[in-house]
Structure 1
C-alpha cells in the first residue's frame, strides 16, 4: 500500500481523499495544473470499492463478481450498432459503486481496476480495491472466527481465561486505520474522507442468522462502537496533525433510514436481497457459481436496498454518494466532499 503511494508521489501538488469502511481507501492526487485532466483518483479497499480487481486475481468464486446478473443495470457492452447487452464488470453490485458516482461528480471518468490498465492507458486514476481486503476481516462470520482464534492465542500468552471484549476488538481495527491515516499523512496526505460502518446487523446476510429475521444485535453493537471510536480518532488527528482535514460520512444513519423507511426513498424492500437464495435471499449464490447453482433474481433491482446478501443496489449507492458529495452537515461532517474537493 505504501509502495503504491510512493510511486504516485512524483505528482507535484498531491492531495488525498480517503474513504474507509474498516480499510476501504480512496485517494485523490492532483497535479499543479488544476484542470480535471490532471486529477487522478486512486482507490483502495474491499468489495464496496472493488471495480473488478478480483477478476484478475487467483481468487475463489466467493470473492468474485464477474458473472451475471452483477452489472445488469448499468454496464453495457456493444458488439455492433444493433447488438448490445448488459454485462458484469467484477463489481459486487447490479450497477455502479459509490466511488463511481463520486468520480462522476468530480467530472472524472469511470476509474478502472489497476490490473486492467496498460502502460499507455492511464487516465483519471486507478482502482486497487479488492473484495476481501479490509482492516481486519470482510464479514462478521470471519470476524467471529478470527476473534475465536485471537482469544485462544491471548489465553495461551496470558495464561488466563480472560476473553477479549468487543471494545478491544474494535480498538484493534481502529488502531490499524489510524496507522494507515498517519502513514498517508507522512507521505503527503492532508485530506481524508471516511465512511463509517453502516447498519451491518440489518443486511440480509445477518438477518438470516437470527430466529425471527430481526437485525443481528452483536453486529449492530460492533458498528456503533466502531463509528464512535473512528470519529474520536479523526477529531484527535485534526488537532495533532497540521493541515489534516477530513469528512466523515454517517453511513449508519443514512443506511438505517432506508432500511426503516424504504418507501420514503423510493424502495419497495429493505429486508430481502434482490439476488440470492433462501430466506431473505441471504445465501450468496447470486450468479450460480458460488457452490449453489440455483438463485432467485428480482425483476427491478432499483426497488431494493440490497442487491445481494451484503451489498446495496446501484440506486442505493447513488443516494449515498449524493449525500457524501453535497449533503448537509448532519450526515457528512464537518464538511461534505464537494467542499473537500474545492481546496
Structure 2
C-alpha cells in the first residue's frame, strides 16, 4: 500500500508540473508554455507601479510623451517611448504582459511585477517616494500567500519553484543614494557603501531562494556616469564635460561584486541557476559606436532639455514648451535623461533571451524558462554546506 501511495503522489506532482511549467520549444524565439515571471527592480523594469503611489514627477512616467510610439496607445508608467525589457522577455516566453503588483485585479498565475521607478536596494534610497526592494519582497510574500490560498499548496509550490525571478536594481542607490547625498558620502567610503548595497542585495536573493525561487535573471548596472543626466552634471563641474567617472566606477565595481556573489551562491544553494548580463560593456559599446547597432545618436537623449538633454526627465513639468522631443526615438540610444529607448530595450531583451555565453551566463533566459526543477518543488532541498563568509 505504501508503494501505491508513493506512486500516486508522484504522478499527481508530475501532472501539476505538466500543467504549470511544461515547456516545448517552437520555431522562432518563443515557447508554447513557460514558467511564471516575477520582476523586482527600479525604473528599468517598472511597468506602472509608481502610477499608484505618491511620489515626484521624476519618479513617474504616466504622462506624455512617455509611451508616445503608440504601442500602448499612450503613457502607461513605463519609462520609455514604448515597451521595456520585461515586456519583450514576456513575449519571447509566450507570456502575456506581466502586470504591476499595484494594478487592481492582477492575476498572479503568470507572475507579477513589483518594480518601482527610483527604487533602490537600500530602503534609505528615495525613502518614502518609492517601493524599495525590502517592500517588494514583502509584496511577493503576499502574492505567494494568495497563490497558495487560490491554487492550493502543491500547485503554488511548483509554480514558485519553476518561476523566473528577474532583478534589475542598484543604480539609484549609487546616483541618488550616495553621489547626490553628502551625508552618506560623509558616513561611508565608496567601498563600504558598495559593500552595504551588495550585502543587502545578496540577502534579498537568499530570501527569494528560501521562499522557493530557484531560477534568477540579473541585469547589471550600466555605465552610470555616461547617462545624459550625469554627463550634464559633470559638465557643470568640469568644463570639458564627458562621463562622470566616479559614477561609472561604482557601477563597474557593483557588477564585479555581484558576479562574485552569484558564483558563490551557485555553489552554496542546490539547484540555484542564474543568468547575468554584461550590461555595462553592452550599453557602453552602443553609446560609443551607435552606427554599428542601427542608431544615429549615442550620447544625447531624445527627450529633455539642456546639455545632452539631460537636465530633466522629459514631460515632468507637463509643459510641452519646456523640453525638446526628437523626431525619431529609434535613432537614439537614450529616450530621456536616465532611460533608454524602446529599441535598446528590445535589443537587450533579445541578447538576454538567447545571447551567447560571452555576454550572458552561465545561462541565458531562454535556458531558465525551459528548465524544470521538479525536485525542488517536491523535496525543498537545503543549501549545501559552506563555511566561508561573503
- Same fold by TM-score greater than 0.5: yes
Q: Does 1:184 find its partner at 2:208?
A: yes
State the match for 1:83 in structure 2. none
Other structure's SS at 1:43 match: strand
State the match for 2:42 in structure 1. 46
Q: Are the counterparts in 2 of residues 52 and 113 from structure 1 also a CA contact under 8 Å?
A: yes
Q: Are the counterparts in 2 of residues 288 and 294 from structure 1 also a CA contact under 8 Å?
A: no
2:251 to 219, 223, 245: 223
Greater fraction helix: 2
User: Superposed, which structure 2 residues align to 1:187-198 within 5 Å?
Assistant: 187-198=211-222
Q: Are the counterparts in 1 of residues 354 and 366 from structure 2 also a CA contact under 8 Å?
A: yes
1:203 to 227, 252, 258: 227
CA shift digits 1:35-68 (9 cap, x unpaired) = 6677432222111111111111122212110111
1:143 to 150, 167, 178: 178
Q: Are the counterparts in 1 of residues 34 and 369 from structure 2 also a CA contact under 8 Å?
A: no
Q: Distance in 1 between matches of 2:87 and 2:328?
A: 21
Runs (5+) with no aligned partner, structure 2 = 1-12, 24-31, 126-171, 372-390
Q: Distance in 2 between matches of 1:311 and 1:262?
A: 16
Offset of residue 74 of structure 1: 3.9
Q: Are the counterparts in 2 of residues 62 and 290 from structure 1 also a CA contact under 8 Å?
A: no
State the match for 1:81 in structure 2. none
State the match for 2:152 in structure 1. none
> What TM-score does the superposition give when structure 2 sets the normalisation length?
0.71
State the match for 1:19 in structure 2. none
CA shift digits 1:225-273 (9 cap, x unpaired) = 1111010000111111111111110000110110110000011111100
Other structure's SS at 1:177 match: helix
Count of aligned pairs between the two proteins? 296
> What TM-score does the superposition give when structure 1 sets the normalisation length?
0.80
Q: Distance in 2 between matches of 1:31 and 1:282?
A: 48
Q: Are the counterparts in 1 of residues 46 and 117 from structure 2 also a CA contact under 8 Å?
A: yes
Q: Are the counterparts in 2 of residues 37 and 124 from structure 1 also a CA contact under 8 Å?
A: no
Runs (5+) with no aligned partner, structure 1 = 1-11, 14-28, 77-85, 155-163
* Structure 1 residues 338 and 122: CA distance shift in structure 2, 3 A: closer
CA shift digits 1:139-192 (9 cap, x unpaired) = 61442244x32355x4xxxxxxxxx32211111111011001111111111111
1:34 to 22, 34, 52: 22
